[in-house]
Amino acid sequence: MPFLNSLIVRWLASLRACVDASRGRSGSGSRIVKTISVIKNPLPNYLTTQLPPSKGWSASGGNWRQRRQGFSLVELLIGILIIGLISTFIASIYLSHFKLFTGQSLAISVADQNKIAMDEIVNNIRQATQVYGNGTGTLPCNKNNCDISITAACGGTCLNPYTRNNGVQLVLQLWPLDSNGNPFDPATIAGCYPDHISYYLGDDPTQTNQQPPSGSPTLDTDGYYHLTRETKRNLSNCSTRQSSKDIIATKILSINFTYTPSTPNTTEVKITLTNEGKALWKAFNPYTYSRTSLARLKNRPSSKFGPIPISFPYTLHGGTEGIRIKRGTGTLVTINNGNVHSNASISGADCTPPNPPLLTNCRINGNASAVQSPVTTSIPSYISVSGSRSVVSLVPFPTFIESDWQEAAANGGTESTNCTISTTVLIGPKKYDCSLLITSSGILKVTGPIWVTGTLTAETGSKIEADATSLGSKGTVVMVSGRIDLLGARWVKKTAGGGYLLFYTTSNLLPLDPVVNGSPAIDVPEQPYYYNQAIYYAPNGTVNLSQENHGLEGAAIGKRVTIDEQSDDYTVEGNPNLTNAIFSTGNDSPPN
């Protein structure tokens, strides 16, 4: 403290001497004394009256005069240097802590945005029943999928705006929600459709390819993208899910979806999401966080998850080519215990009775619906309907994932040489890389899914059965790439527990009249008075319930469904249990 006081005294005296010198006169000792006297103890008392020469002062003419000129330049520079070093040390500590804190905050923010987006997408993929994406497919054309503001009237199929992308947009199909917020199968309610959720960068789903010079999503002000989730509730109003458009994450550098297998048969989606953030001192070295996740469609039927449910709400379900009834003179065609729907019309010029107003010879003992309007044209009056007649929107076919059943069948091995069945055999799961023939002495007992890459033909007298021991109350699938010709089969039987065989073909054979115009995709057995208990499904072709057949118990679904009866009454008997039908994949253990 004495040293500090002495230093201050010297500095004040030096300052006063400089001022006096600049005015051309010596400083007044009394003024210096007055200045110094302000400084209280512990300064020595004698400083208030004199400054002895030993302290660096001398008197002249009764006034004290400074002998030194204050600090030297070297002293000032050393002081400034010391103060600068101390300030730099303190500032570096503060700056390092500031950079550490803001860097951690930035890293947390970027990672949080990545986690929010990834968790959101993965959760909805797991709930989805189907995936669209990569710009490769179109959604079925109906009021659910065709945005009315874009396409006022749908014809055939339409390109949904959500599928215009280059692999950076994901479109999920989900079950609608009931009043309690629980998902339910829309196929259980006539005219009900799935909901859809789409993920894309920016605000416009038509600009998602990230490729210059045009079509790229708009960047945010920070130089990155935001991720948008757009929810589309089906327009049939059977869902409580609300349509919305929300930003769920920001600071997106890139996003990519990889589909296994390719859409629309996807069972697993790989999502790669990269987020990035910049700090002031890291403008050229931003913080980047990238993560990749795999999500499986757990709510989607898959052979990896045991038995597969497929709902068949209609006994007859015609596609865009409709349902056509052709009957012989004096015969009666009846659809019992089930509803009928056509995505076009239900026609049957041969149904007009000979003596009106008697009942017509074509009768639907249930409800009938069609897409074409008016109803008097799509469901003419000469077809008797005991229930309601209505014009509704297009109803999608039941969900059938071909790749799942191909995989399930192939799990049992592949046969490519022994492709003839002439004895009683139990088969399934099995892939036949050939055309399969069942001879007149052959009895095929199906124990699991079968996939035939060629055609399936049953000679006169052959028999096909769902094996009750293996299947119990479940059915299974016989999938054929070519035509299914079961005209000669003596019977096709379900299990005693009610498990039906589902015959499915990808064939596009589509004759208007199979008798006149050629073979259909599926010809069912025509042997009278024997079992015909099955489900026939040809989404791209004609299912022909052919002449001379006693009838069908089950269901028929096709792009065109025809009933071509010439000499005997024909009855299609529906089964309400097919709304909740379960089909074995041959690996029915619950998934891990």
Q: Where does a domain end: 66, 90, 120? A: 66
Picking from 352, 161, 342, the residue whose alpha carbon sits closest to that of residue 245 is 161
Bridge pairing between strands 389-391 and 308-310: unpaired
Confidence band of 264 (pLDDT split at 50, 70, 90)? low
User: Does the residue 219 lie in any domain?
Assistant: yes
Q: Where does a domain end: 254, 272, 300? A: 300
The reply to whether 188 and 242 lie within a common domain is yes
For 30, the domain range is 2-66
CB 163 within 8 A of CB 133: yes
Integer CA distances (angstroms), 299 to 134, 296, 358, in order:
21, 9, 50
CB 249 within 8 A of CB 116: yes
Reported pTM? 0.57
From CA 196, how far away is CA 230, in angstroms rounded?
8
- Residue 102 φ/ψ, nearest 5 degrees: -70, -35
Confidence band of 302 (pLDDT split at 50, 70, 90)? low
Q: What is the pLDDT of residues 205-230, one digit of tens each?
A: 555 444 333 456 778 888 888 998 88
User: 316 - beta bridge partners?
Assistant: 340, 556
The reply to whether 413 and 467 lie within a common domain is yes
Q: Is 472 left (phi over 0), alpha (psi -120 to 50) or beta?
A: left
Number of domains in the chain: 3
Rounded mean pLDDT of 461-487? 94
The reply to whether 291 and 333 lie within a common domain is no
Q: Name which of 110-114, 165-169, 264-268, 415-419 the model is least confident about.
A: 165-169
pLDDT at residue 75, rounded to an integer = 80
Q: What is the pLDDT of residues 305-331, one digit of tens each?
A: 568 888 899 999 999 999 988 766 556
- Number of C-beta neighbours around residue 25 at 10 A: 10
Q: Where does a domain end: 272, 300, 328? A: 300
Q: What is the pLDDT of residues 329-359, one digit of tens each?
A: 556 788 888 899 999 999 876 676 655 444 5
- DSSP one-letter string for 130-148: EEEETT---EE-STTTS-T
Q: What is the pLDDT of residues 91-150, one digit of tens each?
A: 888 887 777 777 778 788 888 988 999 999 999 998 888 886 544 434 443 434 443 333
- High-pLDDT (> 90) share of the chain, %: 28
The reply to whether 198 and 283 lie within a common domain is yes
Q: Pinpoint the alpha helices (H) of 23-161.
A: 29-37, 73-127
The reply to whether 338 and 434 lie within a common domain is yes
Q: What is the pLDDT of residues 148-187, one digit of tens each?
A: 333 333 333 333 444 443 457 888 888 889 888 888 877 6
The reply to whether 383 and 526 lie within a common domain is yes
The reply to whether 364 and 323 lie within a common domain is yes
The reply to whether 229 and 140 lie within a common domain is yes
Instruction: Name 141's Cβ contacts closer than 8 Å, sequence gap at least 6.
Output: 151, 154, 155, 156, 157, 158, 394
pLDDT at residue 204, rounded to an integer = 66
The tokens describing 287, both together, are: 């913080």
The reply to whether 365 and 276 lie within a common domain is no
The reply to whether 162 and 262 lie within a common domain is yes
